[in-house]
Amino acid sequence: MHNALKEKWDAVIVPGGYAPDKIRRYPEMLKIVREAFDRGAVVAYICHGPWVLAPAGVLKGKNLTCVIAIKDDVENAGGKYVDMEVVVDGNLITSRRPPDLPAFMKAVIKAMEKK
């Protein structure tokens, strides 16, 4: 089913909190993220979301933001941490925390309108 659906996905959006810690443990989820990223789909994460991006191997050389608690994880995976409410780097959209949701969602909607 995954192969039939993957071409239809315009975006992968992962919420924050500790769900990303569980999501990143599943190779199939990492594959979905990597494939979406590689084909230019919108890949958007907030808060602890970049915990999924690191093992998916898509952070190297990318500017992004996240909750400060995982800043070291982001940098160790090759990403460049930027302390802003939302960071857009190509098809990658990241945000820090719940108060940043309005800016995050505006960036996601803007990116989706281009699809």
pLDDT digits (tens, 9 = 90+) for 8-33: 778 999 889 989 999 999 999 999 99
pLDDT per residue as tens digits for the range 73-115: 999 999 999 999 999 999 999 999 999 999 999 999 999 998 7
- pTM for this prediction: 0.91
Within-domain flag for 14: yes
Query: Is residue 5 packed enough to be buried (19+ CB in 10 Å), middle (13-18) or exposed (0-12)?
Result: exposed
Q: 48 an active-site residue?
A: yes
Within-domain flag for 81: yes
Q: How many structural domains does the chain have?
A: 1
Give the CATH number, domain containing residue 75.
3.40.50.880
Q: Which of 42, 47, 7, 49 is nearest to 24 (CA)?
A: 49
Within-domain flag for 91: yes
If pLDDT is split at 50, 70 and 90, which confidence band does 4 have? very low
Q: Which of 56, 33, 42 is nearest to 89 (CA)?
A: 42
Please tell me which residue in 20, 36, 48, 62 is annotated as part of the active site: 48
**69, pLDDT greater than 70:** yes
Expressed as residue numbers, the domain containing 47 is 10-113
Residue 33 token pair: 């993220």
- Beta-strand (E) ranges in the chain? 11-14, 42-46, 63-64, 80-81, 86-89, 92-95
The per-residue pLDDT for 1 is 41
Within-domain flag for 1: no
Within-domain flag for 4: no
Within-domain flag for 2: no
